[in-house]
A and B are shown apart, each in its own frame.
Chain A
Amino acid sequence: MAKDHAEEMLKLLVSYHDISASEAAMRIGIHIKTAQDFLENLTEAGFLIAQTVFEKKRPYSRYALPSPILSIELDLRSLLDQSNQIIRMENFIRENRDAQVHFTFARNHQAISTVTLWRGKGRHRDEKKLSLTLPQGRFLYHLPFPTAPHEPVSKIMMLAEIGPEYQSEIMDLLGLMTTYHAIEIKKEEK
Chain B
Amino acid sequence: MNKIVSSNRFYVGIFYSLNGFLAIFMLTTNNISIYLSILLFFLTLVIVTNLVFGIRTRNPWFLLTAAHYSNISLAILFELYQLETAKKLFMILFIVTCLSLIIAGMKKKLKWRKYEILELAAQSVSSQNNGFTNRPMVCGHTDLPFKDILAFWSFARRHLLGIPRIFPDRAELVLTEHTLPYLLGVPLRYNHLSWICITKKGKITVYLSQQDYARFKEKLTFDQLCMAICNQFVNWIKNYSQGSDRKMIDQLNQVHSIPFTGGLIGF
- Using a CB–CB distance below 8 Å, which chain A residues touch chain B? 95, 97, 99, 101-103, 105, 108-110, 112, 140-148, 159
Contacts and interface: CB of A to CB of B under 8 A. Distances in A.
Contacts of A140: 135
B169 to A, nearest CB: 8
A21 B137 CA distance: 66
Interface in B129-179: 129-138, 167, 170, 172
B221 interface: yes
B41 to A, nearest CB: 37
Q: How large is the interface on B (under 10, 10 to 19, 20 to 34, 35 or more residues)?
A: 20 to 34
A29 B131 CA distance: 68
A144 B226 CA distance: 12
Contacts of B134: 102-103
Interface of B: 129-138, 167, 170, 172, 195, 197, 199, 205, 207, 221-224, 226
A112 to B, nearest CB: 7
* Interface SS of chain B: mixed
Q: Which of B134, B135, B226 has the most CB of A within 10 A?
A: B135
Contact of A109 (B129, B131, B132, B195): B195
8 contacts: A95-B133, A103-B135, A108-B167, A140-B135, A141-B136, A147-B131, A147-B224, A159-B138
B223 A147 contact: yes
A112 B197 contact: no
Contact of A110 (B129, B135, B170, B221): B170
B222 A146 contact: yes
B140 to A, nearest CB: 10
A189 B165 CA distance: 40
B130 A141 contact: no
- What are the 5 A-B residue pairs with the smallest beta carbon separation, nearest first? A147-B131, A146-B131, A145-B223, A148-B223, A147-B129
